Amino acid sequence: MKKILIVTSNANKVREFKEMLEPLGYEVVSLRDLHDDEDVPENGQTFAENAAIKAEHGAKKYHVPAVADDSGLCIDAFGGEPGIHSARYLGHDTPYTYKNQVILERLKGETNRGAEFHCAIAFACPGKPTEVFEGVMRGSIAEESRGENGFGYDPIFYIPEYGKNSAECTPDEKNAVSHRGKAVRMFLEYFKKNHYAEEQ
């Protein structure tokens, strides 16, 4: 089975990548599986830069193809914030239930509730140029938090295609339209087209 390193310790992201990649015959290994708790500095200015930094670090350290993503929520009324700081918004260890409540409070009375999730996935293979694939899911911030599926900002993100919040969607529904789902499909198309799978 072909091995791919997912450069993250986020259990939710690992689960989503496994749902997408394992059915295609890939063994997904995370930093947690490798007992690696090194904090890779995310000092890029864009989602793409941060994803590339992490993927290249993992590929160099473990000498295997590595995938890393950087994603976040960009709210129109906040000038695109929290953006690349989404995970650290209001403090890295602050529960998302609190973060979501703060966003809903800040948007009370705001008519412009447009927002979008961005995801950049970087693929770093030893000896080859790093490739980055980006996906966007456009929607809006709901009036209230709803749903038990997903994680992070999903409970407050309204998806117009389904008429419900992201956290109310099934994994299949979410993967079909999500920023990460779009970026992963672009990555997989490139991966297979360039025969990286056969090289493992």
CATH number at residue 99: 3.90.950.10
Catalytic residue IDs: 70
pTM for the full model? 0.86
More confident residue, 127 or 55: 55
Q: Record the tokens describing residue 40, joined without a space.
A: 């890779």
Q: Is a pLDDT exceeding 70 seen at residue 198?
A: no
Q: What is the pLDDT of residue 1?
A: 65
Per the structure, how many domains does the chain have? 1
Q: Is a pLDDT exceeding 70 seen at residue 88?
A: yes
Query: 7, 66 in Cβ contact below 8 A?
Result: yes
Residue 164's domain comprises: 2-199
